[in-house]
């Protein structure tokens, strides 16, 4: 089992680890700071170094329950020590983007009570689908203003871990239309934008809403009678 360092240290840029398995196309490590994907957030990229050789990590794939760091060339052997370095500019932009989407979700849930039906992100931009019957340019402008008000509110963002029993007592913890948490998961990681939004989430986030910067609503479209898509982007 690979220890996921990013779950408690989103700002960790470099780390040391040991190779525990070598498979076709990559290596498995005992610990990693590379985000391994999920929840709409892409996997990280960066480098692994071992024995004087540097490998480009192009992504993380899941193979029979193992997290494989995808690299090529003469792979390091089992037991080798490696040094990992995250492509930090890309990761930090994804952290800002992910938090921006939680701000959007928090505003929509607080003010309109709409469930999330889908979402995706790339560095600096993302989209979320909500159970809205109607959506207009005026409403998009209203949402944009509310999101940027929350950015400027200087809200701290905290990570918590709850037992399944504790999590089941928080009715608004799952914002998706369908509860996607597998029943076998007994510890739930949450992201708390204090005073705005609390959700179960496995991704990486910034520490304060001010780090997100200006959020723009750059598009909206209907995906069905009661399903509307909102696209956002971060200003540089």
Which of residues 86, 109, 131 is at a domain's end? 86
Is 189 in the same domain as 220? yes
Which of residues 26, 59, 86 is at a domain's end? 86
**By three-state DSSP, how is residue 81 classified?**
strand
Q: Could you give the number of structural domains in the chain?
A: 2
| Residue range of the domain that includes 164 | 91-234
Find the range with the poorest average confidence among 44-48, 71-75, 179-183, 204-208. Answer: 179-183
Q: What is the pTM of this model?
A: 0.93
Task: Give residue 38's Cα distance to chain centre.
Answer: 7
Is 96 in the same domain as 176? yes
Is 37 in the same domain as 129? no
What integer best gives the mean pLDDT of the chain? 92
- The domain that holds 58 is classified in CATH as 2.40.30.130
Is 105 in the same domain as 177? yes
Tell me what pLDDT residue 226 has: 86
Which of residues 51, 86, 121 is at a domain's end? 86
Is 227 in the same domain as 112? yes
Residue 180: is it exposed, middle or buried by C-beta count within 10 angstroms (0-12/13-18/19+)?
exposed
Over the stretch 14-44, which tens digit does the pLDDT of each residue have? 999 999 999 988 999 999 999 999 889 999 9
Is 123 in the same domain as 77? no
Over the stretch 127-181, which tens digit does the pLDDT of each residue have? 999 999 888 889 999 999 999 999 999 999 999 998 888 877 787 776 554 455 6
Is 151 in the same domain as 218? yes
């Amino acid at each position: 089992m690979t220890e996921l360092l990013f779950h408690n240290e989103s700002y960790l840029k470099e780390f040391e680890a040991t190779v525990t398995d070598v498979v076709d196309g990559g290596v498995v490590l005992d610990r990693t700071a590379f985000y391994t994907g999920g929840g709409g957030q892409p996997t990280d990229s960066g480098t692994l170094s071992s024995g004087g050789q540097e490998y480009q990590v192009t992504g993380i794939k899941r193979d029979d329950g193992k997290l494989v760091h995808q690299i090529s060339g003469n792979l390091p052997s089992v037991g080798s020590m490696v040094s990992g370095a995250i492509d930090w500019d890309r990761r930090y932009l994804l952290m800002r983007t992910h938090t921006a989407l939680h701000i959007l979700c928090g505003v929509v849930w607080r003010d309109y009570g709409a469930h999330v039906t889908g979402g995706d992100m790339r560095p600096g931009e993302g989209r979320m689908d909500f159970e809205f019957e109607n959506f207009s340019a005026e409403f998009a402008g209203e949402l944009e203003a509310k999101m940027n008000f929350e950015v400027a509110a200087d809200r701290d963002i905290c990570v918590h871990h709850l037992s399944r029993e504790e999590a089941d007592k928080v009715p608004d913890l799952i914002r998706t239309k369908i509860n996607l948490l597998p029943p076998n998961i007994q510890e739930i990681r949450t992201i708390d934008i204090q005073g705005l939004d609390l959700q179960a989430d496995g991704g990486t986030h910034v520490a304060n809403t001010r780090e997100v910067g200006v959020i723009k609503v750059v598009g909206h479209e209907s995906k069905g009678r009661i399903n509307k898509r909102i696209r956002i982007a971060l200003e540089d």
